[in-house]
Amino acid sequence: KGNKKRKRTEDEEKVSEDQSSSITQEPPVKAKKAIKKERSEAEKKLSERENALQQADEEDQKLFQNKVKQKKKASQAITKNVVNSATGATAKQQKRKRVADETADRRTVFVGNLPVSCTVQILKSLFKRYGQIQSIRFRSLHQQELSSNVSFSCSRHKLHPNAKFVNAYVVFKEECDAQKALKENGTEIASGFHIRVDTASKTSSHDNKRSVFLGNLSYDIRDDAVREHFHDCGDVVGVRVVRDRRTGLGKGFGYVLFENTDAVHLALKLNNSVLMGRKIRVQRVTDKRKAQKSPDQSRAPKNRVDKKKKKEKSCSNDSFVGEKATPLKKSTKPKRLKTIAKSKAGKNK
């Protein structure tokens, strides 16, 4: 009995120890689970906050980009409007300038082959009887040194020593006065200087039927020398020798304008005549546009007509006139075989 009681007490003590150990072990496991739950919830909240912040940043970036695009579009529209307005303004200004230039050119008169000693007062005294003069300006003032400035050399009257003539433009206040001033064309303003007066507008057409082209001219030739050379052909209206703007030397060719077309036929006879030690070349003046168009246009119809004629000749049934030829009948007789003589046949064997 005593041993049984001891065993029971030992068993009870073991059970109590096991229960106490289980009680002591349970709290740390539950605490760990609670800590894990708390951590997982905190992580979820942090992730949600981070996602919300990222979305907010993306939306802010999109809004900023949209604003930038709108600003760019607005600035581009403004620049386009400004450019369009500027181009419109510039186009209007250009049109106004063109109109002003055309009107000014109609009122201006070109005066060529003036002596170097000519002044503004001399030109005014010559043209003031035709109307009020607005301005006078000299051109073709050849420099003493090509590297120097034109305005500076002209203001100091330092011109090239070989300069013998000067050109000028006279501007009138009215267009009709400029047309009246054309009467002074060909007048001798000084000894050996017959001036050439013409309108400065581009609309003035040159009559090619009354003019002659000159080639192989001397570089130092004067207009009056050409005038005297062709004086016997007829009345000379004007002489134009093409010159270099800066040096004033001739380029070797020029033009002569007569009053009548009959003088052109006489001037062509002076081809290969000697002028200042050179055999000059005299030719008619032709329009380049007509010369380029005429050969192509003249060739095309001829070729077409020739082709049509060839086709008509080849295809026409009436080209052969006469009786029709009857075809030969073939003979139906059999051909005879060639016979060889016996003597020849013996020899061949």
Q: DSSP secondary structure string, 109-139?
A: EEEEEEETT--HHHHHHHHGGGS-EEEEEEE
CA distance 86 to 271: 57
DSSP string covering 24-65: HHHHHHHHHHHHHHHHHHHHHHHHHHHHHHHHHHHHHHHHHH
Query: The whole model's pTM is what?
Result: 0.50
- Specify burial of residue 293 (Cβ count, 10 A radius: 0-12, 13-18, 19+): exposed
Q: Do residues 150 and 143 touch, judged by C-beta distance below 8 A?
A: yes
Q: Do residues 246 and 305 touch, judged by C-beta distance below 8 A?
A: no
- Three-state SS for 295? helix
CA distance 200 to 206: 13
CA distance 71 to 194: 70
Ordered structural domains, the chain, with CATH: 94-141+162-203 (3.30.70.330), 205-289 (3.30.70.330)
CA distance 308 to 276: 57
| Per-residue pLDDT tens listing for the chain (349 residues) | 566 667 677 777 766 666 655 544 455 656 666 676 677 777 888 888 888 888 888 888 888 888 888 888 888 888 777 766 666 667 777 777 777 777 888 889 989 888 888 889 999 999 999 999 999 988 766 554 444 444 444 443 455 566 677 889 999 999 899 989 988 888 888 887 888 888 887 655 567 889 999 999 998 888 889 999 998 998 888 888 888 877 777 889 999 999 899 999 999 999 999 999 999 999 998 876 555 555 544 444 555 555 555 555 555 444 445 556 666 666 666 666 656 555 555 555 4
* One-letter identity of residue 106: R
